[in-house]
């Protein structure tokens, strides 16, 4: 049968009708499989007289190679058709408007911290961080904050027990540094702090940045010079500044710094931006630093507050809503 004239004609007609890989594979098995026409013909050769076997074998191999080539050619044709179908299915319409690719932006709090860091790094300040879970000694006692101070009240502070609490200020990091190192000291420290308060200008968690300088012959004029230049640099414009007398247990004398900015109805007013002062001799002595030889100053900045003033944000809680429309403004 395989050597008949009509055998290849029938194969040609069948393969022309093939248009997918599944049908092609069935045709291949039918003709070239273990039980296919070609395999059966090869097995029947032994029944043919010896003198005719070579001639018949050559014809069978010719037919086998012909079928293999046709199947391979058909497979390539089907592959090309499949690719065309896929391309037509996922064809790109170049007249359509392009998709907008959103680019992320830093959170305004991060932008402010980076800005302040860069300023003080240029003045050779070190950046120090410390634990958020603090003990009463570093958070209060070493900073000259008495036991009856309102900040120690359980209504104002998150206490774990009588000794451990979530730090209320990053000043505790300054204590740890003074305890380990001797002057000269020039550091800034920042991080999250926690106080039990919540409204449009207060949240239970917020960020604070503090600075400390201790060396020989440090005085209040050095503090004023540094704070004046920092504020002018941060707000990127000339702003009026005033130092107002204040009280902090760990500094003496102490001051709060106000800036004169435009408020509601285009009326200008003074607003506090940070607190500062000369390090209290009690704190220096407690850290075994001779206050007769060394002096220093410290300052503390509420990151959220100074960011609100810089960008004109009226509600501090906006920083923590994770509203992308709000954050995108600071790209």
Which residue is associated with the tokens 């509600």? 315
Provide the domain limits for residue 158: 108-330
For the record, the structure tokens of 282 come out as: 């009690």
| pTM of this structure | 0.65
Positions of E strands within 216-250: 240-248
Chain CA centroid to CA 146, Å:
41
Q: Are residues 115 and 242 in the same domain?
A: yes
Q: Looking at the domain assignment, is residue 99 inside a domain?
A: no
Q: Looking at the domain assignment, is residue 94 inside a domain?
A: no
Q: Looking at the domain assignment, is residue 243 inside a domain?
A: yes
Hey, which of 200-204, 299-303, 306-310 has the most confident mean pLDDT? 299-303
For residue 2, the model assigns a pLDDT of: 63
Please write the tens of the pLDDT for every residue from 30-89.
888 888 888 887 877 777 787 777 888 888 888 888 888 888 999 998 889 888 888 887
CATH number of 180's domain: 3.30.930.10
The answer to whether 249 and 146 are in contact (CB under 8 A) is yes
| Cα distance between residue 234 and residue 232, in whole Å | 6
Q: Are residues 186 and 83 in the same domain?
A: no
Please write the tens of the pLDDT for every residue from 267-286.
778 888 899 999 999 999 98
Percent of the chain with pLDDT over 90: 35
Q: Are residues 122 and 238 in the same domain?
A: yes
Cβ neighbours of residue 254 closer than 8 Å, sequence gap 6 or more = 245, 246, 247, 248, 275, 276, 277, 278
Q: Are residues 322 and 221 in the same domain?
A: yes
| 142 DSSP assignment | G
Q: Does residue 285 have a cis peptide bond before it, meaning omega lies within 30 degrees of 0?
A: no
The answer to whether 307 and 108 are in contact (CB under 8 A) is yes
Domain boundary among 38, 55, 89: 89
Q: Are residues 82 and 113 in the same domain?
A: no
Q: Are residues 53 and 150 in the same domain?
A: no
Q: Are residues 119 and 23 in the same domain?
A: no
Q: Are residues 32 and 173 in the same domain?
A: no
Q: Looking at the domain assignment, is residue 51 inside a domain?
A: yes
| Cα distance between residue 297 and residue 220, in whole Å | 7
CA proximity to 136, closest of 156, 175, 171, 162? 162
Q: Are residues 126 and 275 in the same domain?
A: yes
Domain count for the chain, please give it. 2
Q: Are residues 143 and 266 in the same domain?
A: yes
């Amino acid at each position: 049968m395989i050597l008949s004239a009509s055998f290849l004609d029938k194969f040609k007609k069948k393969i022309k009708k093939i248009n997918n890989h599944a049908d092609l594979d069935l045709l291949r098995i039918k003709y070239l499989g273990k039980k296919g026409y070609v395999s059966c013909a090869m097995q029947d050769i032994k029944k043919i007289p010896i003198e005719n076997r070579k001639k018949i074998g050559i014809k069978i191999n010719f037919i086998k190679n012909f079928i293999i080539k046709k199947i391979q050619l058909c497979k390539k044709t089907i592959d090309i058709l499949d690719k065309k179908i896929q391309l037509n299915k996922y064809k790109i319409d170049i007249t359509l408007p392009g998709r907008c690719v959103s680019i992320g932006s830093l959170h305004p709090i991060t932008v402010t911290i980076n800005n302040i860091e860069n300023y003080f790094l240029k003045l050779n300040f070190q950046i120090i961080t410390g634990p958020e879970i603090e003990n009463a000694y570093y958070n209060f006692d070493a900073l000259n904050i008495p036991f009856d101070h309102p900040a120690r009240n359980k209504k104002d502070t998150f206490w774990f027990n009588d000794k451990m609490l979530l730090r209320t200020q990053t000043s505790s990091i300054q204590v740890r540094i003074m305890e380990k190192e001797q002057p000269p000291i020039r550091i800034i420290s920042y991080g999250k702090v926690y106080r039990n308060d919540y409204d449009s200008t207060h949240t239970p968690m917020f960020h604070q940045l503090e600075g400390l300088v201790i060396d020989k012959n440090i005085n209040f004029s050095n503090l004023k010079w540094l704070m004046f230049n920092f504020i002018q640099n941060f707000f990127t414009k000339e702003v009026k500044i005033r130092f107002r007398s204040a009280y902090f247990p760990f500094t003496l004398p102490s001051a709060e710094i106000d800036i004169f900015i435009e408020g509601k109805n285009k009326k200008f007013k003074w607003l506090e931006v940070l607190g500062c002062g000369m390090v209290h001799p009690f704190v220096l002595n407690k850290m075994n630093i001779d206050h007769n030889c060394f002096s220093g100053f410290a300052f503390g900045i509420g990151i959220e507050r100074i960011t609100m003033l810089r960008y004109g944000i009226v509600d501090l809680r906006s920083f923590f809503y994770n509203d992308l429309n709000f954050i995108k403004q600071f790209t």
